[in-house]
Amino acid sequence: MILGSGGREHALAWKISKSKLCDNLYIAPGNGGTSIEGENISIDINNFEEVKNHVLIKNIDLVIVGPEEPLVRGIVDYFKHDNELKNIKIFGPGRNGAKLEGSKDFSKEFMFRNNIPCGKSKTFNKDNLENGYKFLEKIKPPYVLKADGLAAGKGVLILDDLEEAKKELSKMILDEKFGDASKNVLVEEYLDGIEVSVFAITDGNKYLILPEAKDYKRIGEKDTGPNTGGMGAVSPVNFADEEFMKKVEDQVIKRTVNGIQKENLDYKGFIFAGLMNVKGNPYVIEYNVRMGDPETQVVIPRIKNDLLDIINNCLENNLEKLKLDFDERYATTVILAADGYPNNYNKGDKIKNLSEENNTKIFHAGTKSLDNEILSNGGRVLACTGFGKQINEALSNSYNMAKKISWKNKYFRNDIGKDLI
């Protein structure tokens, strides 16, 4: 059973449905696309009792947790401490491992303790807000403010003006702009470089590095406007060459896994390091304890191995037996969003022209199936993934699909991957 309902979960379901090791696949709650790969189950995945009931009813052997919230809330611990669930495999870190994403402050301190390259930062709350203002005055713009807790990928502000930064720091902490997530706020040194997402799978001891990707977070072209969950992605990334990736492995991945082991964090799952390439050197911006979205929609299709076999070997501490094989073609994805996202947008629009062509794959995110029709049901609706020997060819396939698919309130960026050409 895969937990989640986004494009990431559709990509995981699509890949796992191809495995000879998979007899029955369930996605909870899933979306309009996952129902093609397996059976959707309409449950609240943050209600662990409800998850338990369906795991037992459906005789599930393995649960794969897609999004971060159930992990941070401790679903892995819940399984391990429940007499009826403790022998059922679950893929993802325990609550203490999930703090690498669940608390920006914990994550940053983990980086400092384990000598992992990152920007300088300090954490502030209502008790030391005045110190936060003074810290902002000491550092150079732009000013980076990060909500400590989970904020659905939107709890980061980058501001050029000192007075605006002070106002926003106050809003985040005193007005709880991001709810409980911004009771504590990190003020961080800005790292000037180009971002890249690096993924690994780890059993808390060994690791395998997956294909890297670059995503595009802002809603507007040329990276303008508010942050979103992500508007597109590309893999491989041309500036993440062999020399850079060797530094990533030695300075980031190895030290992260060693830190997980040294600090006894319960960790069997994906680890995602959001990095900044600063003059050829990697700096960690943040950790995520699951795959990224939309990066999954370009990373997972490039893995030639059986994903279920990789996950099983990870859970059984046998990662060293595996050698990963990647598709050398480029994979690009363009997100089709509902017009108005990430603010107010319509749901329930009928989507047409969803047939796939050669070297393309459509992954569903905010969709639902109703009376044999696919309707929009979220902000990010579809991911149009294209493949090609060159990045231009892959992008052309993605954009041809993006233009062909139609509904009343469609929006997408026209510049995904253009900075890499």
What's the domain count of the chain? 2
Domain membership flag for residue 126? yes
Domain membership flag for residue 202? no
pLDDT at 398: 98
Domain membership flag for residue 366? no
Q: Are 102 and 150 in contact (CB under 8 A)?
A: yes
Q: Is 226 helix (H, G, I), strand (E, B) or coil?
A: strand
Number of Cα atoms under 13 Å in the Cβ half of residue 411? 17
Q: Which of 92, 111, 139 is the last residue of a domain?
A: 92
Domain membership flag for residue 360? no
- Full strand arrangement of the beta sheet holding 207-209: 207-209, 194-202, 269-278, 281-288
Question: CA-to-CA distance for 146 and 137, rounded, in angstroms?
Answer: 17
Question: CA-to-CA distance for 335 and 339, rounded, in angstroms?
Answer: 12
User: Consecutive sets of 10 residues in the chain, 421 residues long: mean pLDDT of each?
Assistant: 98 98 98 97 98 97 97 98 97 98 94 95 92 91 89 81 92 87 89 96 97 96 92 97 97 98 98 96 96 98 98 97 97 98 95 96 97 96 98 98 95 97 90
Instruction: Give yes or no: residues 86 and 125 share one domain.
Output: no
Domain membership flag for residue 69? yes
Burial class (CB in 10 A: 0-12, 13-18, 19+), 195: middle
Domain membership flag for residue 86? yes
Domain that holds residue 69: 2-92
CATH number for the domain harbouring residue 54: 3.40.50.20
Domain membership flag for residue 73? yes
Instruction: Give yes or no: residues 78 and 148 share one domain.
Output: no
- Full strand arrangement of the beta sheet holding 143-147: 121-124, 185-188, 143-147, 156-159
Instruction: Give yes or no: residues 15 and 75 share one domain.
Output: yes
Q: Which of 141, 159, 188 is the last residue of a domain?
A: 188
Instruction: Give yes or no: residues 126 and 84 share one domain.
Output: no
Instruction: Give yes or no: residues 20 and 82 share one domain.
Output: yes
Q: Which two tokens stand for residue 128?
A: 């030391």
- Tokens 């992990």 sit on residue: 71
pLDDT at 176: 84
Look at residues 328, 331, 336, 338 and name the one whose alpha carbon lies nearest to residue 377.
Answer: 338
pLDDT at 153: 65
Instruction: Give yes or no: residues 78 and 6 share one domain.
Output: yes
Q: Which two tokens stand for residue 119?
A: 């920007």
Write a three-state SS string for 271-335.
EEEEEEEECCEEEEEEEECCCCCCCHHHHHHHECCCHHHHHHHHHCCCHHHCCCCECCCEEEEEE
Four-point Cα dihedral 219, 104, 80, 312, nearest 10: 60
CA 117 to the chain's CA centroid: 21
Domain membership flag for residue 248? no
Give the C-alpha distances (Å, rounded to integers) separating 216 from 196, 233, 274: 10, 6, 12
Q: Which two tokens stand for residue 129?
A: 């807000």
Instruction: Give yes or no: residues 88 and 6 share one domain.
Output: yes
Instruction: Give yes or no: residues 81 and 139 share one domain.
Output: no
Q: Which of 188, 215, 231 is the last residue of a domain?
A: 188
